[in-house]
Amino acid sequence: MRKRNICSIGLSAALLFAASSSVYAAPDNATNEQVYVNPESDAPNFIAGSLTPSSQKEAVEIVYSYLEVKENLYGLAENESQQFKKISELKDELGMTNVKLQQMFNGIPVYGSVLSAHVNASGVLTSVSGEVVPDLTEADALKGGAVLTAAKASAIALGSLEKLLAEPPQILGEKKPELVIFMDGKAAKLAYHLQFEFLSPEPGNYHYFIDAQTGQVIEYYNQLHKAVALSIPEGTDSVSGGTGVLGDKKKVNTVLNSTGSYLVDRTRGKGIFTYNAANLTEVPGTLWLDRDDDYHAAFDGAAVDAHVYAGMTFDYFKKAHKRNSFDGKGAALISTVHYGKNYNNAFWSGTQMVYGDGDGKKFISLSGSLDVIAHELTHAVSQSTAGLIYWNDSGAINESMSDIFGVLVEDEYQKNPDWQIGEDIVTPDIAGDALRSLADPTANGLPDHYTKRYLGTEDFGGVHINSSITNKAAYLLANGGTHYNIKVQGIGNDKTGKIFYRTLTQYLTPTTKFRQLQASAVQAATDLYGADSKEVKSVKDAFAAVGLK
């Protein structure tokens, strides 16, 4: 069993906290097929090239046909690929159709095993990203059904959770146990997947995996989630004046009626809503109301910044990437400030942002930093697209994506862009420090190269620690520089943002590892700028500089 998370700023991700891929050309009739293999599992995790002839068939049919031909490569039994279940099928601005498939075996989902495939406008399959679990027909543990009942599995998980927290959690919601196939190392096991939501004794959304035959706790991780019921007041859209945490004046979108003004912005998507937890631990709390329509009091600062910065982050993703809120469908952005008493944390709960006030020593109000808010909202984008699981490599990539877009949003608005995270709100009495530096991860004792990655079990396998590897690659891609004797030509923040956004939303899958990330980023740059472009070369060089090639 894993030990408790050592990082205090965590999230569903929350704020605080590859040797070379094996590549070979496929030995069939594809014109330029390259297969990237995960050396740890010997399984393909990214295939690129002109993988099929041009076709008028539906994109999903093209993908299924390809997988059927490649069943031996993927370690699947005959016709096993046809069990895969379509999750989504979307056409992007480049005319490519992205098909995502969930691996199924005998009607049971294989946890985290998702393929993301791309078919171009000519009906040619150009890539398949993701790793599937091979040889399931030979797994002895799957030949019998579940011995344990769902109720017993739930009791075992709750007992483990109580021991972990040192007191019984006050459960707000419990997801119905789902039978899944879970990979425990290299062993496929039939397991119950359970989910528990609670705010006391500390906020949590723990996912547990209980062996359905032995009752053993196989794995768990914390990914916060809390549903929110919106309260939408009637009134007139207005713009009010306010002062942020750092004393800067801001214009605030509100809804005004005879009661006063509410922190509700109806000009963006389905709205931006800011709530007050009043130093309690219930979210969302109370919708923020200012009876005199004046947001200049010191207590208002956290709410003003949370509200305005959420709008700025919404605008960045819409302008730069044509994404309408985190789900691409205009979802409401919900924030709660003044959470807890002296709470040194901020987190994306699964449906909203939550910000503590800090204790004045480690942190001031965490909503007072644009890059922190952009970081949290990028977790929402990751959740809605790649679904990166919050442990090991995929968790570190989850954290890194949030850091990268945190600094890119900050740069978009010229809010002291410096390729650091949280510098505005961490240790107010110490000048020049930050939670993390993307320019120099070692300044915070974090690895700047894949060979130096953390390999232990703390921090759910180093999700905050190893995020610095991709962070450094992104910094080099945008700014250029020489790292470990590899020179990188910088391409600027705009192109870096476009490449990482496409990588995240189109190619990453729940269990993405660093090597798959590198291949995905190269493919995203190829889509955008061409295979022989300087941008593709810079992407390759940036990842090579951090030990991934």
Q: Coil, strand, or helix at residue 303? A: helix
As a whole number of angstroms, the distance between CA 406 and CA 161 comes to 32
Of the residues 197, 464, 483, 535, only one is catalytic, namely: 464
Length of the chain: 549
Residue 57: phi and psi, rounded to 5, are -70, 165
- Residue whose tokens read 């919900």: 334
Pairing label, strands 204-211, 217-222: antiparallel
* SS3 of the chain: helix, strand, coil, percent, to 5: 30, 25, 40
Residue 349: phi and psi, rounded to 5, are -85, -10
**Total Cβ atoms within 10 A of residue 232:** 14
Of the residues 376, 399, 410, 535, only one is catalytic, namely: 376
As a whole number of angstroms, the distance between CA 73 and CA 71 comes to 5
- Structural tokens at position 293: 């329509």
As a whole number of angstroms, the distance between CA 57 and CA 69 comes to 16
In eight-state DSSP terms, residue 80 is: G
Task: Verify cis geometry, omega within 30 degrees of 0, for the bond prior to 201.
Answer: yes
- CA proximity to 405, closest of 319, 336, 313: 313
Is 464 catalytic? The answer is yes
As a whole number of angstroms, the distance between CA 18 and CA 451 comes to 7
- Structural tokens at position 541: 């060089």
Task: Verify cis geometry, omega within 30 degrees of 0, for the bond prior to 284.
Answer: yes
Is 207 catalytic? The answer is no
**Total Cβ atoms within 10 A of residue 81:** 22
As a whole number of angstroms, the distance between CA 196 and CA 467 comes to 26
As a whole number of angstroms, the distance between CA 527 and CA 536 comes to 10
As a whole number of angstroms, the distance between CA 8 and CA 279 comes to 18
Alpha-carbon torsion (250, 252, 258, 259), positive or negative: negative
Give Dmax over CA atoms of the chain in angstroms.
73
- CA proximity to 183, closest of 392, 458, 396: 392
Q: Three-state SS across 407-448? A: HHHHHHCCCCCCCEECCCCECCCCCCCCCEECCCHHHHCCCC
* Residues with a known catalytic role: 376, 464
